[in-house]
Structure 1
Amino acid sequence: MSSVSLALFIFGVCYLVIITERIHKTIVALFGAAVMIGLGVLSQDEAFYSHEFGVDYNVVFLLIGMMVIVNIVRETGLFEVLAIWAAQRADAKPFRLLVLLSLLTAGLSAMLDNVTTILLMAPVTLSITKRLELNPIAFLVTEVLASNIGGTATLVGDPPNIMIASKAELGYLDFLEVLAPVVMIIMAVFIVSIWGLFGRNMTVAPHLRSAVLALSSRDAVPDRPFLHRCLWLLGIINVGFCLHSLIHLEPATIALLGASAFMLLGHARRKPEDGEELSYLTDVEWKTIFFFIGLFILVGGLVKVGVIRYLADQLVVATQGNLGGATMAVLWGSALLSAAVDNIPYVAAMNPLIVDLARSLHPEISDYAELVHQPDILPLWWALALGACLGGNGTLIGASANVVMVDIARKAGYRISFWQFFKFGFPVMIGSTLISSLYLWFLFLR
Structure 2
Amino acid sequence: RPVKFGGVPIAILFILTIATAVTFHSVLHIPPVFGMLTGLAYLKFYGYFLNQKSKSWNHGSEYPPGANQDPYDFDVFSKIAHAEWDTLFFFYGVIMAVGGLGFLGYLGISSEYIYGEFGATNANIMVGVLSALIDNIPVMYAILTMNPDMPHVQWLLVTLTAGVGGSLLSIGSAAGVALMGQARGKYTFFSHLRWTPVIALGYAASIWVHLLINS
Equivalence map 1:353-392=2 (5 Å) = 353-354=146-147, 356-358=148-150, 377-392=151-166
What is residue 123 of structure 2 aligned with on the other side? 329
Residue in structure 2 matching 1:399, options 173, 191, 215: 173
2:10 maps to 1:242: no
Amino acid in the other structure paired with 1:81: P
RMSD over aligned Cα atoms: 3.4
Higher RCO structure (Cα 8 Å, ≥6 apart): 1
Q: In the TM superposition, what whole-angstrom CA distance separates every residue of 1:375-418 from its partner, at most 9, and x where no partner exists? A: xx0221122012101112221211122234334432xxx44442
TM-score normalised by length of structure 2 = 0.69
- Alpha carbons 2:161, 2:207 under 8 Å: kept: no
1:437 to partner: Cα distance? 3.7
Change (3 A) 1:245 1:328: same
2:46 maps to 1:262: yes
The 2-side partners of 1:395 and 1:236 are apart by: 29
2:202 maps to 1:428: no
The 2-side partners of 1:312 and 1:429 are apart by: 27
Consecutive unaligned residues in structure 1, runs of 5 or more = 1-79, 83-220, 222-226, 320-324, 359-376
Change (3 A) 1:421 1:234: closer
The 2-side partners of 1:237 and 1:315 are apart by: 38
2:138 maps to 1:345: yes
Residue in structure 2 matching 1:418, options 175, 185, 189: 189
- Alpha carbons 1:342, 1:397 under 8 Å: kept: yes
What is residue 315 of structure 1 aligned with on the other side? 114
Residue in structure 1 matching 2:87, options 281, 287, 292: 292
Equivalence map 1:15-414=2 (5 Å) = 80-82=1-3, 227=5, 231-232=8-9, 235-247=12-24, 248=28, 250=33, 251-271=35-55, 280-281=75-76, 283-284=78-79, 286-306=81-101, 309=107, 311-319=110-118, 325-330=119-124, 332-354=125-147, 356-358=148-150, 377-410=151-184, 414=185
Q: Secondary structure at the match of 2:93?
A: helix
Q: In the TM superposition, what whole-angstrom CA distance separates every residue of 1:297-321 from its partner, at most 9, and x where no partner exists? A: 22124303317835444321224xx
The 2-side partners of 1:292 and 1:259 are apart by: 23
TM-score normalised by length of structure 1 = 0.37
Q: Secondary structure at the match of 2:149?
A: helix
Amino acid in the other structure paired with 1:443: I
Amino acid in the other structure paired with 2:40: L
The 1-side partners of 2:142 and 2:115 are apart by: 12
1:296 to partner: Cα distance? 1.0
The 2-side partners of 1:262 and 1:395 are apart by: 34
How many residues are paired up?
A: 190
Change (3 A) 1:403 1:357: same
The 2-side partners of 1:385 and 1:303 are apart by: 18
